[in-house]
Amino acid sequence: MRTQIWDTDPEAKPKPRQVFADDMAFRFRAGRSVNDRPVALESWRVTTGDPEVAAAVAQLMGGTPEEWETSKEDFLEVLTTSDSVKVVIDGVKDIDSRFVLWGRTGGPIHECDGVNYLSPEEEAGTPCTCPPLLADRKAQARLGRGPAPQTRITFRLAEDYHLGKGQLTSTSWELVKVLHEIDDALDAVGGEALCSLSLELVEFTTSSGQAVAFRKPVIKVLKAYSAAIADDPYDDES
């Protein structure tokens, strides 16, 4: 005989474990939508479809798991109080960066590595039409006439390694500028690397006198993860 307690209180029934189609346990986000307008955040926002993952993230990074309006599987969000967290990146294979211009139907109409097309298949490997200068690339992207960066970083939380893999998708030009340095540092480690993943405040004044402030994702490769465990082992059972 099965119990029937959820028949009388269905709202209290634990939701089944949800995972992303690409097996990501959670996603890091640097912003959210408020009244249909994008708003940048000072601390990381983490979304997931797994209540246990949401609770673990909240315990590690602060904040409270709450449901948010979405048609996707990550119906829980945690607005953390942390703008920096230690993560584990398993080499350059965990960083995918490309330039994409999205069409009105949601699919890419231009996808390249900055020099050659990546899609469609019949054009892959042939020279793309992007201008050579970075300033011109940014100008075209701003006008919606050229592709913008799309960088995906896959990682684990260093202090809760077995929680599963997470991902950050960033459109930051500032991150793209230094990706070669990050790749070199990861290659030097040659395996899983302990890194810091943070939102760094950038402030400056334009030539016209306008004050500009925004936050950019920053990755710093610290040391080999195996060396970090030896130096300061994490308690996997906590």
pLDDT digits (tens, 9 = 90+) for 112-138: 999 999 988 889 999 999 999 999 999
pLDDT level of residue 37 (50, 70, 90 thresholds): confident
Using CA atoms, how far apart are residues 98 and 149, in angstroms rounded to an integer?
A: 6
Q: d(Cα 83, Cα 55) in Å, to the nearest integer?
A: 18
Q: Taking a C-beta distance cutoff of 8 angstroms, is the pair 75, 68 a contact?
A: yes
Across 35-165, where does the E strand assignment appear?
37-48, 65-67, 76-79, 84-90, 95-102, 108-112, 117-119, 148-157
Instruction: Look at the block and give the residue holding tokens 């939102």.
Output: 199
CB 27 within 8 A of CB 19: no
163 pLDDT higher than 90: yes
Helix (H, G, I), strand (E, B) or coil at 110: strand
| Residue 207: per-residue pLDDT | 77
Per-residue pLDDT at 18: 43
| pLDDT attached to residue 71 | 83
| Residue from 138, 146, 140, 133 nearest 102 by CA | 146
Distance between CA atoms of residues 19 and 153, nearest Å: 17
220: left (phi over 0), alpha (psi -120 to 50) or beta: beta
Question: How many angstroms separate the CA atoms of 167 and 95, rounded?
Answer: 10
Could you tell me the pTM of the whole model? 0.82
**Under 8 Å between Cβ of 143 and 154:** no
User: pLDDT tens for residues 177-215?
Assistant: 999 999 999 999 999 999 999 999 887 787 777 877 778
Q: How confident is the model at residue 219 (pLDDT cuts 50, 70, 90)?
A: very high
